[in-house]
Amino acid sequence: MMQDRRSNCGFTSKLSTLKIVDSLAEITRYKDRELLERSLAVTLSELFLSDEFRFYRITTVDVDGIIELRLSLLTYANQGVVISEHQIHEHELPPWLLELVTQAVETQALVERHDPENAATHILYPVYTKHDDIYGMLLHKSKQASFESRRLIYGLLRIYSNYLSLLEESHRDTLTNLLNREILDSEITKIIVSNAQYHDYAAAKRRRTLDGSHAWLCLLDVDHFKRINDEWGHLYGDEVLILLARQLENIFRKEDLLFRYGGEEFVALFRTFSCEDAQMVCERTRNTIAQYSFPGVGRVTISIGVAEITRQPGSSIVLGQADKALYYAKEHGRNQSCFYDNLLAQGLIEPQTINQSKSSIDFF
C-alpha cells in the first residue's frame, strides 16, 4: 500500500531518500534569502517532476484602516525550470486562489482545492516565521498528490522556515534587533545591479521602466553620543540606541530596510518617487528624533548624510558618498540632513573617489 502511494507521487523510495538528502543540503547551502527560495522551488520541482510550484510572499498593508493581504510571487518552478520573482497585483490572481489564501490565513493550516478542468489538485501550504506569523505560501499543483508527498513538502517547508529564522537572526544586531552591516553590502549591491541592467538609467527612470522611484541610502549618526555615555554611563547610552532604533522603525515604512551600521550609526535604505520626497523623509526623521525625550537623558539629535543609489561601481562608494555628506552635516552644525549630490552640485564638497571609499568609514 505504502509502495503504491509512493509510486503515485512519482519517486521510488531509494531514489527519493537520496534526493531528499540532496535537497536538504541544497536548501541550506545559501545565505541569501532569494537564492534559498529559488533552491527550495527547484528542489521541489525536481522531487515532483510533473508538478508545479509557486512560492508567494504575503504582506499586509493598511488601506484606510482596513488590513489587506498582498501577494508577491517569489518563485515559480515547473520541471526544474525556475522563473524569478515579480510583483503581482490582486487582479492578476484567480479568485479561487485569493479564497484559498484567506482560508489558509484564517485556519493557519494547509488548504486544498480540486480543479476538475485540469484534473489536478491545488494545495496551499502556509509558511511560518519563528513567531508563528504567516510569512509566505507555497502553492503546489499536482495531478497525483499523495499523503506522503504532502508530509514531505510540509517537512521541507518546516526545515526551510527554521533555517530562514536562523539566517534572519544572524543578520540582526543583538542590541537593537535591526539588521546588521553583514547584509548591508549585499542589499546595496542588489539595487546597483538592478539599476545597471538599464543602459540608459536616466531614460529608464523617465519612462518609468524603473518604476520611477529613486533608491536612497541614509546614514544617521547620533550627535555627541560620547557625551551621553560620559555623562549617564554606557547602559543609558545603550538604551538611547535601542529607543532610537524603535523610533526609526516607526518613522520608516515596513518595506524600508534599517541597519545598525556602527556604534551610534544607523543606515536606512528606502525608495521615493522624487528627491523632494527623500528630503522630506530625512527631515521628518531628524525632527521626530529631535523632539523625542529619551527617558533619563532628554533630547538627543542626529545628523544625516544621504546618497542616491544609482549605478555606482560598488556599495563602498555609495557608503562613502553618504559618509561624506554626513561629515559635512557634522562639521556645519549637526542636527541636519545633507544630500551628497546637492553638496556636490553646490561645490561644497569634492567628489568621492574609490580610494577614499575604502578608508573613510568607521567600523565598530
Ligand X SMILES: Nc1nc2c(ncn2[C@@H]2O[C@H](COP(=O)(O)OP(=O)(O)OP(=O)(O)O)[C@@H](O)[C@H]2O)c(=O)[nH]1
Nearer to ligand X, 54 or 181 (CB): 181
Q: Of 126, 155, 128, give the one whose Cα is nearest residue 47.
A: 155
For residue 224, state whether it binds ligand X (rule: CB under 6 A): yes
For residue 231, state whether it binds ligand X (rule: CB under 6 A): no
Give min distance, CB of 221 to ligand X, in A.
5
* Binding span for ligand X by CB under 6 A among 18-26, 225-233, 306-314, 339-347: 225-233
- Any catalytic annotation for residue 264? yes
For residue 222, state whether it binds ligand X (rule: CB under 6 A): yes
What is the end-to-end Cα distance of the chain in Å, rounded? 61
* Binding span for ligand X by CB under 6 A among 34-42, 95-103, 111-119, 226-234: 226-234
Q: Cβ distance 357 to 319 under 8 Å?
A: yes
For residue 323, state whether it binds ligand X (rule: CB under 6 A): no
Among 55, 225, 270, 328, binds ligand X (CB under 6 A): 225
Among 264, 265, 276, 283, the active-site one is 264
For residue 295, the SS3 value is coil
Beta strand residue intervals within the chain, DSSP E: 52-63, 66-78, 81-83, 86-87, 111-115, 120-128, 134-142, 214-222, 257-260, 265-272, 293-294, 298-299, 302-309, 337-339
For residue 364, the SS3 value is coil
For residue 332, state whether it binds ligand X (rule: CB under 6 A): no
Among 173, 223, 308, 323, binds ligand X (CB under 6 A): 223
Q: Cβ distance 227 to 264 under 8 Å?
A: no
For residue 212, state whether it binds ligand X (rule: CB under 6 A): no
Distance between CA 357 and CA 40 in Å, rounded?
Answer: 37
Task: Kindly list the residues in this chain that would bind ligand X in the complex (CB under 6 A).
Answer: 175, 221-226, 229, 234, 237-238, 241, 263-264, 330, 334, 364
Mind telling me the catalytic residues?
264
